[in-house]
Amino acid sequence: MNHAAKRHPALKLGLTVIAMRQHGPHIAKILARQALAEAQHLHVRTGVVGFDIAGPERGNPPHLFRSSYEIARKGMLG
């Protein structure tokens, strides 16, 4: 991605880390923290720009993942 960004400066690139609901809120929280750490580490390069939680909501309602979203929000991840 860094190579492509240098060759095509008008191109906007970034990674979104996606946690799967079925893996549970604890894993999502770990991934949110890791996404934030990577985003801060690569702040001058192309890297992590967002965090998402995907998968079936049945049995895994959004409120279970509140702390993961808070970590991402405080870290200014999209």
> How confident is the prediction along the chain (78 residues), in pLDDT tens digits per residue?
888 888 998 988 888 999 999 999 999 999 999 988 887 776 556 678 889 999 999 999 999 999 999 999 998 888
Query: 28: part of which helix (H) or strand (E)?
Result: helix 25-41
Closest CA to 74 of 45, 44, 33: 33
Query: Tokens in use for 6?
Result: 């240098």
pTM value is: 0.77
**Residue 27 pLDDT:** 95
